[in-house]
Amino acid sequence: MTDDRSLERAARSFIEPGPTRAPEAAVAAALVAVQTTRQERDLRVPWRTSAMPIPARLAAAAIALAIVVVGGAVLLRPTGQPNVGGPSPSPVIAPSPSPAIAPSPVPSPTDALAALQAYRVARDAICVSASQQLLTLNAAGDAASTPAEHADVIARIIVLGTTETNQLAALDPPQAVAEEHAADVVHHRDSLALLGQIEDLLRQGKAAEADAVDRALGTAISSQEEAFQQRYSLADCP
């Protein structure tokens, strides 16, 4: 059994058995993670974005929401305002595209869930719309062959991004995410400033410097945005 040919056969018959189908749960989990994961930038295609979310992401979002609500119900209660007299029924706020939620001094888990859901719906609407428009611009970026053409595409992206960021800034997030939302808006503005620098460098014909700026700064900013999105299962917001 130990001559070369028989060893070859033994090796093949040894390695052949085993699973040939990937577990569906593992694939689904990866695809859920992809929904909140941003692609690395490449100056050939300067700004990356998401497409429409898939049902699997919504399932993950529901789980994440449940965790946030259960864990945050107590934390959300403003300090110094004990719930004297026990819990009272709070008006249920139906999910709505409008992000404006009436402040409640003692948000119940239902309130918190509704507020977060409303926030997600409003934010995702902005982000998904921008993402779809960005797919077209990314295709234009692929077709660009000179630094000046890249700069033109980036200029259009900056216009789109400015609109998107202003819309995000106009949202009224629930208390649970207000701080992180504000930081996210700042990150978006930082990204736009970064793109402005890159555009300037490209217009000067300094493609290598533009690429270096993108790599040095872009990843850090993107990862901060991405962490926020993953924490609350929000759509990727370019």
The stretches of the chain forming alpha helices (DSSP H) are 4-15, 24-35, 55-75, 109-143, 147-169, 175-203, 207-213, 219-232
Q: Measured from the CB atom, is 111 or 124 closer to other proteins? A: 124
Q: How far apart are CA 141 and CA 158, in angstroms?
A: 13
> In whole angstroms, how close is the CB of 193 to other proteins at the nearest point?
21
188 binds other proteins (CB under 8 A): no
For residues 36 to 75, the per-residue mask of contacts with other proteins, x marking binding by CB under 8 A and - elsewhere, is: -xxxxxx-xx--xxxxx-x---------------------
Q: Measured from the CB atom, is 52 or 178 closer to other proteins? A: 52
Tell me which amino acid residue 77 is. R
Phi-psi domain of 94 (left: phi exceeds 0; alpha: psi -120 through 50; beta: other): beta
Q: Measured from the CB atom, is 16 or 85 closer to other proteins? A: 16
Q: In Å, what is the CA distance from 150 to each residue of 44, 195, 199, 217?
A: 8, 11, 8, 19
* Phi, psi dihedrals of residue 45, rounded to the nearest 5°: -130, 95
> In whole angstroms, how close is the CB of 191 to other proteins at the nearest point?
15
Q: Measured from the CB atom, is 42 or 172 closer to other proteins? A: 42
Residue 2, number of CB atoms within 10 A of its CB:
6
Binding test (CB under 8 A) with other proteins, winner from 30, 182, 193, 220:
30
For residues 93 to 112, the per-residue mask of contacts with other proteins, x marking binding by CB under 8 A and - elsewhere, is: --------------------
Burial status of residue 11 (CB atoms within 10 A of its CB: 0-12, 13-18, 19 or more): exposed
Q: Measured from the CB atom, is 14 or 89 closer to other proteins? A: 14
Q: How far apart are CA 162 and CA 47, in angstroms?
A: 13
| Helices 55-75 + 219-232 axis angle, to 10 | 80
Binding test (CB under 8 A) with other proteins, winner from 142, 148, 159, 182:
142
Binding test (CB under 8 A) with other proteins, winner from 65, 113, 115, 134:
134
Q: How far apart are CA 92 and CA 44, in angstroms?
A: 48
> In whole angstroms, how close is the CB of 54 to other proteins at the nearest point?
7
85 binds other proteins (CB under 8 A): no
- Applying CB under 8 A, the residues found at the interface with other proteins are 1-2, 7, 10-12, 14-23, 26-27, 29-31, 33-35, 37-42, 44-45, 48-52, 54, 131, 134-135, 138-139, 142
